[in-house]
Amino acid sequence: MVFDCYRPAHAVADMGSWTREGGPPDPQWYPTIERGDLIAKGYVGELSSHSRGSTVDLAIADAAGKSTVHPACGAPDGGALDFGTGFDCFDPASETAHRPLGAEAAANRKMLLASMRAAGFRNYAREWWHFTLAEEPFPRRRFDFPVTAN
């Protein structure tokens, strides 16, 4: 299941501006970090690989469609396997190699990492869900075309 893929450069700039406005931790998205520290701690990028069209945020869906409640934080999983946190949880618990982690969540992270590596992607170690093509076609370019739905 794909949560996020291409993101226009202007949307990344908006996220950077929002982060620099500062604010207290948010219990759902970044429970232990001040908003103004999200860039410095590596949770929000001032320049995002999503704007290069080579990065995807994803998880593996539960075949039975059951939903997992994540005690840490993040977005509702929409039927993903248990990965220990929800998607977009800006917290050390979301680091791919974070320990301690429940056995099922650790196994699911390991399976996702192995699957994506086999497909030619590398993981961003701070976010178990974030993968970028190892051999990006546009490694130094940012795109800013709009995305519209038909």
Domain carrying residue 51: 2-133
Residue 119 included in any domain = yes
pLDDT at position 137 is 94
Rounded to an integer, the average pLDDT of 131-136 is 96
Annotated catalytic sites, by residue? Answer: 127
Read off the pLDDT of residues 48-70 as tens digits, 9 standing for 90 and up.
999 999 999 999 998 887 766 66
∠ CA 122-74-23, rounded to 5°: 105
Residue 149 included in any domain = no
Query: Between 68 and 79, whose confidence is greater?
Result: 79
Residue 148 included in any domain = no
Number of domains in the chain: 1
Residue 145 included in any domain = no
CATH assignment at residue 28? 3.30.1380.10
- Check pLDDT > 90 for residue 71: no
pTM of the model as a whole: 0.91
Residue 40 included in any domain = yes
Instruction: Return d(Cα 141, Cα 147) in angstroms, integer.
Output: 17
Residue 146 included in any domain = no
Among candidate residues 58, 139, 70, the one with its CA nearest the CA of residue 104? 70
Residue 143 included in any domain = no
